[in-house]
Amino acid sequence: MERFVEIVNSIVWSPALVVLLVGAGLYFSIRTRFVQVRRFGHMARLLFRGDGAAKNGSAGFTSFQAFCVALSGRVGTGNIVGVATAIALGGPGAVFWMWVIALLGASTAFMESTLAQKYKFRHKDGWRGGPACYIEQGLGKRWLGVLFAILTIVGYGLLLSMVQSNGISTAFENSFSIKPIITGAVIVALLALIIVGGARRIARVASIVTPFMAVAYIIMAIIIIGINWRAIPGVFGEIFSCAFGVDSAFGGIVGSAIAMGVKRGLFSNEAGQGGGAIVSAGADVRHPAQQGLVQGFSVYVDTLLVCTATALMILCTGTYNVFAEDGTMIAANAPEIGSNYVAFTQGAINTVFHNAGSIFVSIALAFFAFTTMMAYTFYAESSILYIFRDSRSDKAEKAAVWAYRLLFFGSVIYGASTGAGLIWTIGDIGLGLTTWINVIVLLILCPQALAALKDYESTLK
């Protein structure tokens, strides 16, 4: 079974999908004349000044709340473990390619979120939608929209949620010797308090917890980097030289640097996978392109801030090792750590705050994973509402939502108390399938998002 799942996963997440995502991001960037660069300042104004926020009493939540929910789904274990893995297998140059992917991914996030605003439906609990909606309404393929929704419910809402709860329970068991089953029960209790309150409560909690979580992590990174400020010029020089194979030590793994930077960057920012679009449909804004710009900005926050904070902490302190494809160690800066990727970040913090790295990283991972599960639940429940949108029975919809919630709570406890290796791979397959469907649909519906951008920019003039 495990071998079969691994084979299917390797097919779904083949280099072809990476090429599709990178190619789509480049194509969207060119067609929008790099709107993610041209309108960078406007993105920030929409977010922080409330230009894109809806009026009080509207059917959705604000642009900032949608930004926070989407960011909570993007900022997760990939920002700590994923970045360390990229450096370990691709060298410092992998960081540069993560930046490139963030730049291209911002255009993809703009496209999917703009379309999500254009094609959405009004539910009694607020606006809902996402890729399933623009697949059905834009392409006229209801069956494909339902398939996308089911894959989202199973992949995001159940399987990958198990992985997140497993990450929290493992971290707390290692740092505080708390039994995984207890951690799982506490997670379920906290999630239940939030989820039962509906989408608006998820949005309110995310708008408080997510900024706090990200800012606290970045402050810690600034402290570590600031103390090691003399190493910064050398670190940036190493990043750029390794990215293009100029550095003699890492010249032989420039291909790995590109591959790992691209893969980890895509995994972290989630642009093109559809989750951010589901959240964007819930925002009540004055123009579809506004929310597209805000979600493009969330990709920058995820990669250019949080991922870069992790990378610079590790590189400035030298608490990392680099491995070739055959497993031999190319750079042994911290041989005692070996290939324990989480320990890269923990070791960086320990250089300043002795023995505090394990505790801080455990708490950070807990916050990241918890808010990610909140976002996954929103994705799943929105998909259920989409499937039942034409149902004449409210009871059937409510029954489906509560059935999912019970399964979700059970999966969280199960994931916290058992291994998550096979579950992670199966979840990746579902996520990969939604990405294939979503990116191809975005390429087809691209002209509509471009028309929305043109219309919005004409109003700015």
What domains sit in the chain, N to C, each tagged with a CATH number?
2-455 (1.10.4160)
Residue with tokens 């959405």: 120
Predicted confidence pLDDT, tens digits, the chain (461 residues): 778 878 887 888 778 888 888 899 999 999 999 999 999 888 888 876 654 444 444 556 777 888 888 888 777 777 887 888 889 888 899 999 999 988 999 999 999 999 999 999 888 878 889 999 999 999 999 999 999 999 999 888 888 888 888 878 877 887 788 898 999 999 999 999 998 888 788 888 888 888 888 899 999 999 999 999 999 999 999 999 888 877 666 666 778 788 788 877 777 777 888 888 998 888 888 899 999 999 888 889 888 889 999 999 999 999 988 888 777 888 888 878 787 777 888 888 888 888 787 788 888 888 888 888 888 999 999 999 999 887 777 888 889 999 999 999 998 998 888 765 666 677 677 778 888 999 999 999 999 999 999 999 998 87
Q: What local confidence, expressed as pLDDT, does residue 54 receive? A: 45
Supply φ then ψ for residue 316, to 5 degrees: -65, -35
Cα separation of 11 and 80, whole Å? Answer: 26
pLDDT of 303:
87
**What tokens were used for 240?**
């750029």
pTM for the structure as a whole: 0.88
Structure tokens at 448: 């509509």
Structure tokens at 454: 């043109």
Query: In one letter, which amino acid is 37?
Result: V
Query: Rounded mean pLDDT of the chain?
Result: 85
CA angle 23, 103, 79 (to 5 degrees): 105
Cβ–Cβ < 8 Å for 333, 321:
yes
Give the pLDDT of residue 424: 65
* pLDDT for res 29: 95
Residue 445 is predicted with a pLDDT of 95
Of 350, 356, 354, 353, nearest in space to 337 by CA: 350
What the block records as the tokens of 170 is: 């493992």
CA-CA distance, 18 to 20, in Å (whole number)? Answer: 5
Judged by DSSP in three states, 310 sits in helix
